[in-house]
């Protein structure tokens, strides 16, 4: 008598097991094991029909699992070595599960203690500038929102400038996921530091005239992007902020980056904190400033960008 758990041992459904039994029964009674005879015997034994395509799919599966083999003239035979090998493999998996069970059972209390102390522990890492923006690009992969405080929005920089700064892949990811794919909400809180922008432009070109024109282009891009990208919200905060940061969200805040600056206000690296509660608390502080900051996609915001053009001209226009 066959054990009732044969289906489980062979990884088969009840119907698949019944077809395997039918092949054996026909062989045992020295009857042909053609698909036609298998269908007739199955329907006679189980008093239910089986569609021809379903039968051939089951026979194909049984053959792939080496439970049956195909003989000449479309007949099939039961492959007992293959059946034994499948049961042996299932047994090995069961033994492994039993070892896991014994280990967990023996150390259950220690396991839950370790889990309880680990579950809410922040993951903290430091990334220097070359690694930082690769890591941020990776964080954006599954993000649906990023909130940034910065001296000037990098998304408005030209490809030439971001390449010179080593941030081109990150900037491209921001633009593509927000503007093209419409899958990322980008919020900027910035004091729009024109000196910061000019320093980056000068580093790119090494020529004050070219840097000045680069800044003009960037300001034009800033205005265009704020008016055309619904997933981009840039807001001006009059007072300089104390710390540049980026908060990553995937439905809820999950991680943040705290940027480290040098004496020239350039990013040299960042502390990356992966911890929902810390990210949530930081987001709340960010939101308080964000709510009363001036939107750039309004009439007043456009005037602010025009004021930036004038400030740029006053400070660096003589270099043109």
Element (H, E) at 205: helix 194-205
Q: Which residues contact 81 (CB under 8 A, 6 or more apart)?
A: 66
78-94 residue pLDDT tens:
999 988 998 888 888 88
Superfamily (CATH H level) for 123-319: Endonuclease Chain A (3.30.870.10)
Phi, psi (deg, nearest 5) at residue 142: -110, 15
User: Does residue 199 contact residue 161 with C-beta atoms inside 8 Å?
Assistant: no
The pTM for the full model equals: 0.62
* Interatomic CA distance for residues 104 and 112, integer angstroms: 10
Pairing of strands 185-190, 76-78: unpaired
Nearest C-alpha neighbor of 63 from the set 81, 82, 87, 89: 82
Q: Mind listing the pLDDT tens digit for each residue in 224-254?
A: 999 999 999 999 987 756 678 999 999 999 9
Contacts by 23-30 with C-beta closer than 8 Å and gap 24+?
Answer: 23/62, 23/68, 23/76, 23/77, 23/78, 24/78, 27/77, 27/78
Q: Which CATH architecture has domain 6-103?
A: Orthogonal Bundle (1.10)
Supply the DSSP symbol for 319: G
How many angstroms separate the CA atoms of 131 and 146, rounded?
Answer: 19
Note the pLDDT of residue 171: 94
Task: Look at residues 120, 146, 315 and name the one whose alpha carbon lies nearest to residue 216.
Answer: 315
Contact 87, 79 (CB under 8 A): no
Q: Which residues of the chain have pLDDT under 50?
A: 1-4
Half-sphere exposure of 236 (CA within 13 A, CB side): 20
Q: For the chain, give every domain's residue range.
A: 6-103, 123-319
Coil, strand, or helix at residue 57?
helix
Neighbours of 92 (CB within 10 A): 10
Reference 227, options 154, 295, 317; nearest CA is: 295
Q: What is the pLDDT of residue 2?
A: 44
Residue 123 CA to residue 293 CA, distance in Å, equals 31
């Amino acid at each position: 008598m066959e054990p009732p758990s044969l289906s489980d041992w062979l990884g088969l459904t009840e119907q698949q097991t019944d077809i395997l039994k039918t092949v054996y029964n026909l062989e045992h009674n020295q009857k042909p094991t053609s698909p036609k005879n298998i269908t007739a015997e199955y329907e006679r034994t189980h008093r239910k029909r089986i569609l021809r395509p379903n039968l051939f799919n089951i026979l194909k599966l049984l053959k792939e699992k080496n439970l049956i083999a195909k003989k000449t003239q479309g007949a099939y035979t039961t492959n007992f070595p293959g059946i034994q090998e499948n049961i042996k493999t299932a047994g090995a998996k069961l033994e492994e599960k039993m070892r896991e069970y014994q280990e967990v059972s023996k150390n259950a209390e220690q396991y839950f203690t370790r889990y309880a102390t680990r579950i809410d522990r922040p993951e903290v890492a430091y990334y220097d500038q070359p690694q930082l923006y690769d890591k941020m690009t990776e964080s954006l992969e599954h993000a649906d929102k990023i909130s940034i405080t910065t001296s000037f929005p990098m998304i408005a920089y030209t490809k030439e400038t971001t390449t010179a700064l080593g941030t081109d892949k990150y900037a491209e990811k921001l633009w593509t996921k927000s503007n093209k794919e419409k899958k990322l909400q980008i919020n900027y809180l910035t004091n729009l530091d024109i000196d910061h922008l000019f320093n980056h432009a000068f580093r790119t070109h090494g020529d004050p005239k070219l840097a000045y024109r680069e800044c003009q282009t960037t300001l034009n891009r800033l205005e265009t992007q704020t008016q055309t990208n619904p997933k981009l919200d840039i807001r001006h905060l009059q007072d300089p902020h104390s710390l540049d940061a980026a908060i990553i969200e995937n439905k809820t805040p999950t991680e943040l980056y705290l940027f480290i600056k040098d004496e020239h206000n350039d990013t040299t690296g960042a502390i990356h904190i992966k911890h929902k509660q810390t990210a949530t608390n930081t987001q709340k502080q960010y939101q308080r400033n964000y709510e009363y900051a001036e939107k750039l996609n309004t009439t007043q915001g456009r005037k602010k960008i025009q004021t930036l053009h004038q400030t740029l001209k006053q400070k660096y226009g003589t270099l043109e």
